[in-house]
Amino acid sequence: MSLIIKDLHARVKDGATILNGINLEIPKGEVHAIMGPNGSGKSTLSKVLCGHPDYEVISGSAELDGQDLFAMSVDERSRAGLFLAFQYPVEVPGVTNANFMRAALQARMPKGEELDAVSFYKEMRSKMKSLDMDPRFTARAVNEGFSGGEKKRNDILQMMMLNPSYAILDETDSGLDVDALKIVSEGVNAMRAPFRSFVIITHYKRLLDYIKPDVVHVLYKGKIVRTAGYELVAQIEQQGFDFIKSEE
Amino acid sequence: MDFSQNLSMEEAFALAEAEAKLNAALQAASQRFNDAKIPDRYNEDWRFGQPAKHAVALAEILKTNVPARGSISVKCADSEVVMPVSAEDDELKETVNLMPTIGSDALLGLHIRRFGEGICLMLEENTEIKQPIIITYETDGLYTPYTFIMAAPGAKARIEEHHKCADGATMFCVRNIHVMEGAQIAVELHEHGSIDSRCMNITDIHNLGGAVQHFTSHAGHAWAREETIAEVYAASPGTSIELYSANRISGNSVLDQHTHQIHHIGGAKSNLLYKNVVDENGTAIFAGNIRVEAGAHCTDAYQTNRNLLLSEKSTVHSLPGLEILADKVRCSHGSASSPVDEEALFYLTSRGVSRANAQELISTGFLEDAYNKFRKSFDETYTSGLPD
Ligand SMILES: Nc1ncnc2c1ncn2[C@@H]1O[C@H](COP(=O)(O)OP(=O)(O)OP(=O)(O)O)[C@@H](O)[C@H]1O
Ligand SMILES: [Mg+2]
């Protein structure tokens, strides 16, 4: 069981091509890191996988546990086990965090079954506590007026509530303070399991010191140009991306 | 006039003078109804409202003299407060005669001809009714009730009015809300429509130094028109009028809302927030006007109309207006109509919520915002009280 991306080409709708043949395999149970210079296509890759309407797939495929990801709607992909913690989580005025999560969990229930409200709130509160979030956030509109770090934490909370099989974290560390980074990393580590994989997109070694990846990829100009072990992180930290750019 | 009381000469003169004034006003009023034309396309207050279709249809059934077909129920912790409107109550009828409308004098005139149904709430001085008072009007034919609410100085209450129409029915309600100094009143009106049902409301809010929060919601009517005239006649600290509305319009429904916020005197605040979710071939019309009369200095008056369009076929006409004849006035009006934010929809669907449910969550939240503000404002003034 894995997430398999083959020769994926994608572009901004009616615009520039951003992904130029991505090949990636994320087996269940592993943590992969994706690094790469600004603008290389990391966020685009994750949004294309989720089905963001701004992009279109030109060619290539993506399979999630054997299912054709691109044949599914955005919500189906989520229910199939894919999760993306966004680089820039969106504000949704008028919809409270609690109602949002209830709807998302209800959507995963078999037809005719109702989510138990009491245990739902209990679970949400306890997860918020583990992320050091104010319990009053349940009643606040999704990300509305949240600080940068609060938004990131909220996305991680959603991940914890939804229990995905494949979680992509797009620069979750940017905007988090030192303590929050530690709390969030601990949360992610606690979720590491043989039935779950993580793709961690980041610019910094610091996060990957907390959440040790099994495999590290470098994305550059819309392609995976390097795949190696954890040692690649240290090399990038020391030398930057020049050694990769000069080879391309 | 009753001379059996022992009045001094001056008092008798004053009374006679007042009565003469009232008679003159009533005469003018009846003249006004005689002169009034059924709204047509030259009537500016019916712009976009298809008067040839809707006003004419309403006038036609009102003229037929079909008997009222409706029922009233009232839930109130203090039964002393509630009185049914009776056809013989001339004094009450006079208050209707003097009511302003927004372009619908002729229709009000026809309503008055049917006067005799409805509920009168007399909220007594410095008394608080804790449980909300619930008035329900229901009809499966034509019903033309009148709601009169008098909040004496210092009275506090929450009133819910529910109007329910069966298929094809028509409800035309005239409402008068008087709020005296220091009174705190929240009134919410929920219109529940059905297939081919119609409703119209003419509401006049007279604020004489109290705080009033007014909320309306419409759902399901084929056609609904609302004329709400909110007037400040006397101000003391904390005097305010807040008007909220939250509506869903779908199918081929039309919601035609008109508001006047009129500040006859300075030192008071009025605020309006009307929100609509418009789907399918639905049409929302909002025409609001703030008028700050000459000399009504230090007035704050705001008005916002916001529409969420769920379909490309949905229509919105938003006509906010301001007339300011005084100084040191803070006024603003704004109107915005937009489709559901695609980024927000994507975000919700990316967590597994279907697109339809995501849209529903966003629409519900959009409308709840208006209701929540109404409740929050009421809870705040209600618990803290008005400044002394
Ligand atoms: N919706 C869009 N419209 C126009 N250009 C876009 C859009 N999305 C992405 N791009 C462009 O595609 C390129 C890749 O962007 P992307 O956000 O995927 O980069 P990234 O690798 O995530 O960078 P960063 O490290 O800065 O987050 C950039 O040049 C960006 O400007
Ligand atoms: Mg990015």
pLDDT of A1 > 90? The answer is no
Q: Decide: helix, strand or coil at residue A188.
A: helix
- Where does the pLDDT of residue B384 fall: very low under 50, low under 70, confident under 90, or very high at 90 and above? low
pLDDT of B388 > 60? The answer is no
pLDDT of residue B381: 77
CA–CA dist A140, A146 (Å, integer): 9
pLDDT of B351 > 50? The answer is yes
Are the C-beta atoms of A125 and A134 separated by less than 8 Å?
Answer: no
Q: Which residues of B343-375 are buried (b: 16+ CB within 10 A; e: fewer)?
A: ebbbbbbbbbbbeebbbbbbbbbbbbbbbebbb
Report pLDDT digits (tens) over B39-48: 999 999 999 9
pLDDT of B131 > 80? The answer is yes
Which ligand is nearest to the Cα of residue A20, counting in written order? 1
Contact B362 A142 (CB under 8 A): no
Token reading at A153: 């934490």
B212 to chain A, minimum CA–CA distance in Å? Answer: 25
- Where does the pLDDT of residue A245 fall: very low under 50, low under 70, confident under 90, or very high at 90 and above? confident
pLDDT of B315 > 80? The answer is yes
Q: How many residues does chain B have?
A: 388
pLDDT of residue A176: 93
Domains detected in chain A = 2-245 (3.40.50.300)
pLDDT of residue A45: 98
pLDDT of B3 > 80? The answer is no
Are the C-beta atoms of A50 and A85 separated by less than 8 Å?
Answer: no
pLDDT of residue B290: 97
Are the C-beta atoms of A183 and A132 separated by less than 8 Å?
Answer: yes
pLDDT of B193 > 60? The answer is yes
- Where does the pLDDT of residue B385 fall: very low under 50, low under 70, confident under 90, or very high at 90 and above? low
CA–CA dist B348, B358 (Å, integer): 6
Instruction: Output phi, psi for B374, to 5 deg.
Output: -60, -50
CA–CA dist B170, B168 (Å, integer): 7
- Where does the pLDDT of residue B387 fall: very low under 50, low under 70, confident under 90, or very high at 90 and above? low
Dist. CA A59 → ligand 2 center (Å)? 22
pLDDT of B334 > 80? The answer is yes
Contact B362 A86 (CB under 8 A): no
Q: List chain A residues with CB under 8 Å of B340.
A: none
Question: Of B199 and A246, which is predicted with more confidence?
Answer: B199
- Where does the pLDDT of residue B9 fall: very low under 50, low under 70, confident under 90, or very high at 90 and above? confident
Return all residues near A238 (Cβ < 8 A) that are at least 6 apart: none
The mean per-residue pLDDT over the stretch A87-98 comes to: 96
CA–CA dist B326, B215 (Å, integer): 28
Report pLDDT digits (tens) over A131-155: 999 999 999 999 999 999 999 999 9
Name the residue among A227, A202, A232 with its Cα closest to residue A35: A202
pLDDT of residue B383: 65
For ligand 1, atom 26, which residue shows the shortest CA distance? A38
pLDDT of residue B13: 87
CA–CA dist B254, B199 (Å, integer): 11
- The ipTM estimated for the assembled molecules is 0.97
Atom in ligand 1 nearest the alpha carbon of residue A37: 25
Dist. CA A198 → ligand 1 center (Å)? 21
- Where does the pLDDT of residue B5 fall: very low under 50, low under 70, confident under 90, or very high at 90 and above? low
Are the C-beta atoms of A29 and A15 separated by less than 8 Å?
Answer: no
First vs last Cα of chain A: how many Å apart? 32
pLDDT of residue B222: 96
Token reading at B270: 């009025």
Pairing of strands B223-232, B283-292: unpaired
Residues in chain A whose Cβ is within 8 Å of chain B: 50-53, 73-75, 77-79, 83-84, 86, 89-96, 99-101, 103-104, 107-108, 141-142, 158, 162
pLDDT of B379 > 90? The answer is no
Dist. CA A35 → ligand 2 center (Å)? 10
pLDDT of residue B119: 97
Ligand 1 mutation target, pool A44, A54, A202, A244, most atoms within 8 A of CB: A44
Which ligand is nearest to the Cα of residue A170, counting in written order? 2
pLDDT of residue B1: 47
| Average pLDDT of every residue of chain B | 93
Contact A96 B365 (CB under 8 A): yes
CA distances from A197 to A1, A25, A164, A170, A203 (A): 10, 11, 9, 14, 19
Pairing of strands B146-151, B223-232: unpaired
pLDDT of residue B121: 97
- Where does the pLDDT of residue B4 fall: very low under 50, low under 70, confident under 90, or very high at 90 and above? low
- Where does the pLDDT of residue A34 fall: very low under 50, low under 70, confident under 90, or very high at 90 and above? very high
The mean per-residue pLDDT over the stretch A118-124 comes to: 96
Are the C-beta atoms of A181 and A207 separated by less than 8 Å?
Answer: yes
DSSP of B253-313, one letter per residue?
Answer: -EEEEEEEEEESSSS-EEEEEEEEEE-TT-EEEEEEEEEE-TT--S-EEEEEEEEEE-STT
Show the ligand 1 pocket: residues with CB < 6 angstroms: A 12, 15, 18, 36, 38-44, 54, 87
Report pLDDT digits (tens) over A186-241: 999 999 999 999 999 999 999 999 999 999 999 999 999 999 999 999 999 999 99
| Average pLDDT of every residue of chain A | 96
Name the residue among A55, A17, A68 with its Cα closest to residue A223: A17
Substitution target in A47, A75, A109 with the highest count of B β-carbons within 10 Å is A75
